[in-house]
Amino acid sequence: MSATLLPPTVIELASPITDMENLDIRLRADASSRQVAIRAFAFAVIWLLVGSVFGLVASFKLHMPDWLVGNAALTFGRVRSAHLNAMAYGWASSAMLGVSVWMVPRLVHTELRVAKAAEAGLYFWNVGMVLGIIGILAGYSDGLEWLEMPRYWADPFFVIGGGLVGLSLLSTIAMREVEHLYVSVWYIMAAFVWFPIIFVIGNWPTFSGVESAAVNWFYAHNALGLWLTPVCLAAAYYFIPKILGRPIYSYQLSLLGFWTLGFFYSLNGMHHLIGGPLPTWMVTTSVVASGLMIIPVVAVGVNQHMTLNRRFGALRYSPTLRFIVFGAVAYTLVSLQGVFMAFREVNRLTHFTHVTVAHAHVGLYSFVTMIMFGSIYYILPRLLGREWISERLISWHFWTVGIGQIVYLVPLTVAGMVQGAAMSDPNSTWQQVVQAMLPGLIGRSIGGTLLTIGHCVFAYHVFLMFRGATPRQGLPPFHEVAPIITRRSKATFVPGGIA
Amino acid sequence: MLPSSLAVVIAITLLGLLTVAVFMAAWRRGHFDRINAQSLIPLDDDDFSVARPWETESQRDARAAEHGPLQPAVTPGIWGGAA
Amino acid sequence: MTRIWLLITGVLAIIVFATSLLVVIPNTMIGQVRAPRQLADYTPQQARGREVYVSEGCVYCHSQQVRDPVYTSDKARGWGPRATVPSDYIYDKPHQLGTMRTGPDLINIGVRQPSEQWHHTHLFNPRSLMAWSIMPAFPYLYEVRDSASIKPGEVAYSVAGGKLPPGKVIVPTADAEALVAYLKSLKRTYPVPTGDEPAARSIGGRSEHTMP
């Protein structure tokens, strides 16, 4: 079969039996996760657009404060929360659910088990999202950052939904056909164990006062470090070796990176409250744990860099790799930035400023979002059985959000630094503080607009994919640069269906 | 419940020793043997044997030496899942 | 790694450890924080005002903590005579400590700004008082009426800065009154003993206002 599809210049092929086995495994895995993953990505893209609109409105309101003030539902404090929640739990988490259910079957060489539960979980999750966002805009926020969605009538949907997806993944892993579990499986499984626990703790209603603050930031930082980060690292650990065709540089380093990440990251939360009314030992624990984060971050960074070493040319050919490597580098940078900002001498100037907001976006956008973009660019063609329609759309997407991030992050960081400098001078008036930050806030709005344009390009492209549009030229994208996956791996794809 | 730092220090040390014990037990039972084999799980034979356009001659030769003759990347006109 | 249960055990151990250290242990210690004599619980109106504060998302621009004067300028800026301590927040559920200062810290705003008129006109539109302010306006917390329609005993305010047509005044809604009552209650200036004072030393070197 293979010989008829490959050009005659091929001399010899790899063992057909192994190839068919491997092919069969991949096809079976993809077929089992197809239903859930496709829907997860569809929800994710919708929330990306919704979250982008909220983000733009909030950003513009900061330098146009009399805009859209007639209605409480659009006040800055509510729209800003709606943006955060739509992006973190809507866009990022839905995309991560999709990536997880696709990747785990592939890595344990068996079909996704109880896939119907995973699908139900996805719907529960998104019902929770709708209720939560409506709750925030209607004024029913729980009042805790990252935990605004109403704890009694929106949050249970996330616990149930995440739990159902986790159940499906755990069942799949239990029925695995591999002897060893790859590092991405550890990260994904850990994320699904950690998330419901921290989410319930964070939302527990009995805390008040400074204890409420400690629990709040215990949860919020762990939402970043024990939910968002592990799944995105799982994606990076999978796609970088996969596309390059070489294994990760040092598996021992990935072991070290995983356990130190869990152990240190989970203690970081109090660094959001440095200088605040908490016992010093709690804050110091988090500052020390933040410093120790250098270990897993360097482990991951070295591992990924050395895998990519002398093969950075791949970035010219693979859009997935472009987004994923961007994200992986951003992970190292944002973590080092975070280590820095956790030291009291630096925190004295950066706390309460836009530097923190910019830092959060380096993490949530440059790392998490870019990795999710890259993952979707790889996974969706394999699930839909068709290639991306247009190389140009991918390129526009990459460059708009790439430049958009710089336009967003640089002015906002500078705004934060001048804000911090002005605040620390007791003789400066608040007018001076506000006027110092204003240019950066306008820059951030421009950057955010560019990002939103990029998101619209991406969403349009995804929409075309779902609709089944055929490539305009009748040729695959990137034909000038020769795609890397052989025809044989797609031998059984027929138009409109997957075997 | 825990009025003194000494109690906290002892409790944490015990927890830490427990962690070390678990790690040692896992090591003894062979969980960390053949560790590099695990890094090959995501990669299939055709991931290895396809020639990549960005690789140098020596990288390509090394790949061919280890995985057999390389297949070319997809030629134009054939759908190939480029990402 | 071959055993999924080993992975899950390790993962659970990590989160149990972190929760013990940063949630459970502090929880056992917080019981030792006493309500200060000088701090009363929120009245029902102030409590409602706090709900409005939470609902409008004020925390996203305003903090409610004075940091240690040794290494920050919070005190020098006039935000409080001392750093805030755990007992200051004993009635706060949920906390509104905040992580952003687009606007000034508010834990002692009741001391800095006791005027109800100031608060209401500021909330209606901050730019009526400070043209450079970027704080949102909250006109929906107020009714705009003709000044002639105001009956004796009704509270109404005029608004400067061209933010209201002439002849109109604003009448606060119940929520606006509650919010201002809450803001006026934000005073944490009473003295608290630190660990060094004789009173604290007599209870083992710890202050009942702080956690061990």
Q: Which chains border C (3 or more CB–CB pairs < 8 Å)?
A: A, B
Percent composition of chain C: helix, strand, coil (DSSP 3-state, to 5): 40, 5, 55
Q: What is the ipTM of this complex?
A: 0.91
Q: What's the rounded Cα separation, in Å, for the pair C166 and A128?
A: 47
- Span C27-86, pLDDT tens digits: 888 877 888 999 999 999 999 999 999 999 999 999 999 998 888 999 999 999 999 999
Q: What's the rounded Cα separation, in Å, for the pair A28 and A21?
A: 10
Residue range A360-384: average pLDDT?
94
Cβ neighbors of C43 (< 8 A, separation 6 or more) are C181, C185
Q: Which of A19, A424, A473, B12 is nearest to C76 (CA)?
A: A424
Chain C residues bordering chain B (beta-carbon distance below 8 Å): 1-3, 6, 9-10, 13, 17, 21, 25, 28-29, 212
pLDDT confidence band for C194 (50 / 70 / 90): low
- Span A57-97, pLDDT tens digits: 999 999 999 999 999 999 999 999 999 999 999 999 999 99
Chain B, nearest residue to C13 by Cα: B19
Please list every residue in chain B whose beta carbon sits closer than 8 Å to the beta carbon of residue A99.
none
Chain A, nearest residue to B42 by Cα: A107
Query: Between B40, B54, B71, which is nearest A10 by CB?
Result: B71
Q: What does the pLDDT read at residue B30?
A: 76
Chain A, nearest residue to C139 by Cα: A70
Partner-chain contact C13 B19, CB within 8 Å? yes
| CB A108, CB A169: distance < 8 Å | no
Partner-chain contact A285 C65, CB within 8 Å? no
Read off the tokens for C2: 């071959």
Partner-chain contact A19 B48, CB within 8 Å? no
Tokens 């973590």, residue? A335
- What's the mean pLDDT when you consider all of chain A? 88
Size of interface A-B (CB pairs under 8 A): 159
Is A251 in CB contact (< 8 Å) with chain C? Answer: no
C25 against C145, higher pLDDT: C145
Q: Is A469 left (phi over 0), alpha (psi -120 to 50) or beta?
A: beta
Query: Between C6, C13, C28, which is nearest B31 by CB?
Result: C6
Q: What's the rounded Cα separation, in Å, for the pair C115 and A431?
A: 21
Read off the tokens for C13: 């151990």
Residue C168 backbone dihedrals phi, psi, to 5 degrees: -110, 150
Q: Which chains border A (3 or more CB–CB pairs < 8 Å)?
A: B, C
Chain A, nearest residue to B23 by Cα: A259
- Whether residue A23 has pLDDT greater than 60: yes
Is A392 in CB contact (< 8 Å) with chain B? Answer: no
- Span A94-113, pLDDT tens digits: 999 999 999 999 999 999 99
- Whether residue A220 has pLDDT greater than 60: yes
Partner-chain contact B41 A107, CB within 8 Å? yes
B30 against A406, higher pLDDT: A406
Cβ neighbors of A36 (< 8 A, separation 6 or more) are A97, A98, A101, A112, A115, A118, A119, A122, A168
Class of residue C21 by CB neighbours under 10 A (exposed 0-12, middle 13-18, buried 19+): buried
Partner-chain contact C9 B22, CB within 8 Å? yes
End-to-end CA distance of chain C: 41
Please list every residue in chain C whose beta carbon sits closer than 8 Å to the beta carbon of residue B3.
212
Q: What's the rounded Cα separation, in Å, for the pair A182 and B40?
A: 8
3-class DSSP state of A74 = helix
Is A475 in CB contact (< 8 Å) with chain C? Answer: no
Q: List the Cα angle A495/B81/A316 in 5-degree steps.
A: 150
Q: How many CB atoms lie within 10 A of CB A345?
A: 8
Is A179 in CB contact (< 8 Å) with chain C? Answer: yes
Chain A, nearest residue to C136 by Cα: A65
A456 against A470, higher pLDDT: A456
Cβ neighbors of C203 (< 8 A, separation 6 or more) are none
Q: What does the pLDDT read at residue A401?
A: 97
Please list every residue in chain B whose beta carbon sits closer than 8 Å to the beta carbon of residue A388.
82-83
Q: What's the rounded Cα separation, in Å, for the pair C180 and A354?
A: 28
Is C59 in CB contact (< 8 Å) with chain A? Answer: yes
- Whether residue A269 has pLDDT greater than 90: yes
pLDDT confidence band for B1 (50 / 70 / 90): very low
pLDDT confidence band for A21 (50 / 70 / 90): low
Is A472 in CB contact (< 8 Å) with chain B? Answer: no
- Whether residue A443 has pLDDT greater than 50: yes
pLDDT confidence band for C144 (50 / 70 / 90): very high
Residue range C187-208: average pLDDT?
60
Partner-chain contact B19 C9, CB within 8 Å? no
Q: How many residues does chain A have?
A: 499
Read off the tokens for A455: 């998101």
- Whether residue A2 has pLDDT greater than 60: no
Partner-chain contact C86 A278, CB within 8 Å? yes
Q: How many CB atoms lie within 10 A of CB A71?
A: 11
Q: How many CB atoms lie within 10 A of CB A175?
A: 14
Is A211 in CB contact (< 8 Å) with chain C? Answer: yes
Chain B, nearest residue to A181 by Cα: B38
Q: What does the pLDDT read at residue C211?
A: 55
Q: What does the pLDDT read at residue B73?
A: 62
Q: What does the pLDDT read at residue B52?
A: 81
- Whether residue A185 has pLDDT greater than 90: yes
Distance from CA of B80 to the nearest CA of C (A): 34
Q: Residue A437: beta bridge partners?
A: none
- Whether residue B33 has pLDDT greater than 90: no
| CB A84, CB A33: distance < 8 Å | no
Query: Between B2, B22, B31, which is nearest C2 by CB?
Result: B31
Please list every residue in chain A whose beta carbon sits closer than 8 Å to the beta carbon of residue C68.
275
pLDDT confidence band for B74 (50 / 70 / 90): low
Partner-chain contact C73 A424, CB within 8 Å? yes
Partner-chain contact B35 A251, CB within 8 Å? yes
- What's the mean pLDDT when you consider all of chain B? 74
Please list every residue in chain B whose beta carbon sits closer than 8 Å to the beta carbon of residue C212.
3
Burial B15-26 (b: 16+ CB within 10 A, else e): eeeebeeeeeeb
C143 secondary structure, DSSP code: E
Q: Which pTM value belongs to this model?
A: 0.90
3-class DSSP state of A24 = helix
C102 secondary structure, DSSP code: S
Q: What does the pLDDT read at residue A1?
A: 34
3-class DSSP state of A310 = coil
